[in-house]
Amino acid sequence: MTSTPAPWALLALSVVAAVLVAVLAAVATALLARWDGASLPAALLRAGAAFGTTLTLATALLALCLPWVGPVA
């Protein structure tokens, strides 16, 4: 038995971690926007932008790092 995880499991955990980090960034952005006095729609727009930006950056980093892991097939 090998001690390394299956490549697809590593990919799945990485994607879940990236989504969780993006959700946390969106929630923090929405709370800070509301605290600053923004309306609810404006805070949600800022949260959506933060979510999209964070998920894009995390996915780009995963795309750079995962070829070192090996093929996912």
10-68 confidence digits (pLDDT tens): 888 989 999 999 999 999 999 999 999 999 999 999 999 999 999 999 999 988 887 66
- Identity of the amino acid at 59: T
Q: Are 70 and 6 in contact (CB under 8 A)?
A: no
CA-based nearest residue to 58, from 10, 24, 14, 13: 14
Name the pLDDT band for 3 (thresholds 50, 70, 90).
low
